[in-house]
Structure 1
């Protein structure tokens, strides 16, 4: 009997060799759903296999958590040391890091947790090379920094594929799809906006997962892959960006070629660095801060002056409620109203409620019951 990897490869080949049109869309949708189910089963079994190693249960801390994802020996440990001052062991051979090493980076008032994990290899999503433990840590990140070096930048797509196979979607909004199983009535499909799917495709995809009765609501434009992700319901959507290390080992022309190549293939320009020399590390810190989507909120006590020296750092979208939750849970329970000065309101000292969305640089006063 064929292994799961062989079954997946055979079905993927059939998908590639089948021309997509309205006549074949249902068949292709069913094949994609089957591949997703096989891969999901394989990943689930890998994740449920032998227990994780020491150092893999890392508690999130700070204002945001960034995971360094890369091949073995691309310089993740050296970069962690440069960013945070953490002493992660480094050496000139692969797999120096055998557990998760956390570090804390302070930048622009934000306290950012950086995690150095063992290098990913092909097959990590299926559990190879401590992939089970590594993937579990990555799934909990707020931001993924994909780190390559000047010798392997063309293989960064291997990292992306492993993350995709493990249910991690990079730089993508979660599609607005609701699938509610019912006891009878078949598949009922409603859409808001222009959907790329029809009822036949949805039926074929759901049937592959043995769902014959369900109410389906799709908002916005989604494709078959989006719908399959929603059907499984275990995907995570995480922002990511690229950095290429060891650029001090190549000439300026090669740097330009690598920069252009990564930008063309992935649509994002990489941050070119040398972790060893510290070149462009400050620019990398700025990119981490920006990609985490931080904004600064200045707190003003009732009847007092705003603290303009130490802002509260919070990630977008930031509401008055999310600020209250970060300060103390009692702030929400005893909330009366808030006053805001800044770009998010029409006039200074405007009264707002918990759902009000704040902008960077806003001044906020929270008024609670005694």
Structure 2
């Protein structure tokens, strides 16, 4: 009796369709210009490599992504396939890995965040063309733009995970907020500078008024001093001697002061008063001459002082009077060489130029970094 045993090797094909909702950890450092790589791993957790081994049957063509598949926020850039072995304490397990690369679409964020933020910054520049005395308009415009930027930043971050590092969109929104806040501070600076200039003008006007009053008082005092000097000079002039014969005044050089009683004698047809020449040079004329000299010097000094006070005639030697020094700086409408209008004029140029330069640097740097960096 013979027994024939036939063995057949069977090929089992098992097909299953699954809908998987997978999570993917992302790095949002360059958001929204980031690129992500999400991986899907297939592994047996119950059978080790002694029992089962997974391989890609068609190699790189085992996974196919249809061309009409689109995502609302991402573009599919491609995929990679690889096999791996997971070494655990219970053994080695076969694993299949498929990495799908994504690139975030920027259109939504341009329309919803970047363009509105830029327009808010541009609107804040309108205050530079308003008059600096239009306080309600400029303050309301500055406060409104600051609050709008705050709301936009809050709504943007509310849609993102709570992460601790800075994203690229945070850099843009933060710079826009600083620009808007700086425009509000610019008006505060203009208002403060205008107030200080107005206070200084008022103080200069008060000082000028006080100086005019003081000048008038000095002029009145100088006039009184001139009158007193004139009276004193008139009181110190000795009386003239009159010839008893002719009734004419005598020669001033021959008049004798100090009350020396000398008879007037005749010399021919001319009246001559006084003693002989030897009596003229006595002690009394010297005392009289010294008194007259002191009176003349004091009168001259008073006249010079009065002329210098009044600002006419000049001092000794007919020198011109000193030029009066004006109060305050040369231009009362400026402080530290700048006026409030100048600040507005400079801001009309500086703020747009700074914002344009920032945008150029921002987009060039982040687009280059995003293109050259690997996903995740």
TM-score interval, normalised by the smaller of the two chains: under 0.3
User: Which structure ranks higher in relative contact order (CA pairs < 8 Å, sequence separation ≥ 6)?
Assistant: 2
Higher strand share: 1
Q: Highest CA radius of gyration, 1 or 2?
A: 2
Structure 1 or 2: larger helix share? 2
Query: How high is the TM-score relative to the length of structure 1?
Result: 0.18
